[in-house]
């Protein structure tokens, strides 16, 4: 602690403002530890069924001893939990609590859910809600259909923008330059139907805007189709997207137009419910 100077008999006072340089190194170390701990938490969240210490240390680029120390700290705070039988680390309840605060702050999940349920009942297919995060779409919620064969999308799961229904719906509502930047120079091909060039993507997005909904025609996973439309905020910008997904055997060419129009109407209804509006032509 740095103290203000004064006479021998004068009371010494705390100096206001930033502490002197003695704490700089310590502060830097704390920031590094925080960054490393959050990296480990992110890696665990992206691992279905948990991850071992050695896996996490390798992915985070940390010595196992350092990774273990940070994981124990996260465990004490409830952000992770350790399955001793399988020797795997999983996300803890506190991480869910903190993550759920994001959903509460957005309100879009709570507002959209009754619309999603109605759409599922009308279409007979699973309904998904997602938002843009970097170059991916993150699933916020799903209302599952009653079919035995159905698409499952867990909250927090991610899909690429350029070949998922939700991602393509969001891209179609963004400016062309933003879209090109988000897609990047290398477009990964997931199936034979993935659109792998900017020219093909631009033509497809023009069609999406014209129709009012985007189509994932087995572009991300063979045998699966999806139709999606964007939800707009008060500025007319895309804040989320809603989709119907299911096996190609049920989402046939004959049904796609009908289902797409249903999704577009639902997206417009949610847009109105959140106080948003469609962008000006």
Q: Tell me the per-residue pLDDT of 114-165, one tens digit each, with 9 for 90 and over.
A: 999 999 999 999 999 999 998 899 999 999 988 877 787 888 889 999 999 9
Segment 105-110 shows an average pLDDT of: 77
Residue 105's pLDDT is: 55
CATH architecture of 107-273: 2-Layer Sandwich (3.30)
Residue 154's pLDDT is: 82
pTM of the complete model: 0.66
Helix orientation angle between 53-60 and 24-45, rounded to the nearest 10 degrees: 120
Rounded-to-integer distance, Cα 117 and Cα 144, Å: 9
Residue 173 CB: number of other CB atoms within 10 A? 26
21-92 is a CATH 1.10.10.10 domain: yes
Residue span(s) of the chain under CATH 3.30.450.40 come to 107-273
Rounded-to-integer distance, Cα 10 and Cα 16, Å: 17
Residue span(s) of the chain under CATH 1.10.10.10 come to 21-92
Confidence of residue 18 (pLDDT cuts 50, 70, 90): very low
Confidence of residue 23 (pLDDT cuts 50, 70, 90): low
């Amino acid at each position: 602690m740095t103290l203000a100077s004064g006479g021998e008999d004068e009371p010494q006072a705390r100096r206001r403002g930033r502490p002197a340089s003695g704490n700089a190194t310590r502060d830097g170390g704390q920031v590094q530890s925080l960054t490393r701990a959050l990296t480990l938490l992110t890696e665990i969240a992206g691992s279905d069924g948990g991850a071992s210490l050695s896996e996490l240390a390798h992915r985070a680029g940390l010595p196992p001893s350092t990774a273990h120390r940070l994981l124990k700290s996260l465990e004490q705070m409830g952000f992770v939990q350790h399955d001793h039988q399988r020797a795997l680390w999983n996300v803890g309840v506190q991480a869910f609590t903190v993550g759920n605060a994001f959903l509460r702050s957005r309100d879009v999940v709570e507002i959209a859910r009754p619309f999603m349920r109605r759409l599922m009942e009308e279409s007979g297919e699973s309904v998904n809600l997602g938002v843009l995060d970097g170059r991916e779409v993150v699933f916020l919620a799903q209302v599952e259909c009653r079919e035995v064969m159905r698409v499952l999308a867990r909250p927090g799961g991610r899909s690429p923008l350029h070949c998922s229904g939700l991602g393509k719906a969001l891209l179609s509502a963004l400016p062309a330059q933003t879209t090109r930047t988000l897609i990047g120079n290398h477009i990964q091909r997931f199936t034979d139907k993935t659109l792998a060039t900017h020219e093909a993507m631009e033509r497809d997005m023009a069609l999406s805007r014209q129709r009012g909904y985007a189509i994932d025609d087995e572009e991300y996973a063979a045998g699966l189709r999806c139709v999606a439309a964007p939800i707009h905020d008060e500025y007319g910008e895309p804040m989320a997207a809603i989709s119907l997904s299911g096996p190609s055997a049920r989402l046939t060419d004959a049904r796609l137009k009908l289902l797409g129009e249903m999704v577009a109407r639902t997206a417009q209804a949610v847009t109105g419910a959140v106080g948003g509006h469609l962008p000006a032509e």
